[in-house]
Amino acid sequence: MRMDKWLWAARFFKTRALAARACDFGRVTSNGYPAKPMREVRIGDILTIKNDTGDFTIEVLGLSQMRGPAGVARTLFQEGEESKAKRLEAAELRKAMTLAGGFTESKPEKRDRRLLNRMRGR
């Protein structure tokens, strides 16, 4: 089964095009080697996937040609404990940065820009 199709069916990416682009950009590795979209996925492969929700290190447990419900998608892979811990730690860090004002969804307003300029010495 193709890598991009499996990543889409396992719900790591919303579309096959996004999965293929992630493979092309080197965000997916299979058994330590960069994975191309057409690379074959086999049961037992160890995949490392970097997407906007975090970095996953998983073992492939099953193959599926079609995208199903999230419960079914979770049966296709098993995430390692170390990977889960790293992802949760990164999520906590992102949450703390958001609460501290580190990351914002929009551009800074006029008052915020003035404060930033003062901090930067401009």
Min mean pLDDT across 37-46, 73-82, 86-95, 98-107 is at: 98-107
Identify the architecture of domain 1-79 in CATH: Roll (3.10)
Using alpha carbons, select from 33, 34, 45 the residue that is nearest to residue 6. 45
Q: How far is CA 84 from CA 54, 60, 79, 91, in A?
A: 10, 16, 7, 11
Residue 5 clears pLDDT 80, i.e. is over it: yes
Is the pTM here over 0.85, yes or no?
no
Cβ atoms within 10 Å, residue 41: 21
* pLDDT at residue 103 tops 60: no
Alpha helices in 1-122 (DSSP H): 3-9, 16-24, 70-73, 81-99, 110-120
Q: What percent of the chain has pLDDT over 90?
A: 60
* All structural domains of the chain with their residue ranges: 1-79, 81-122
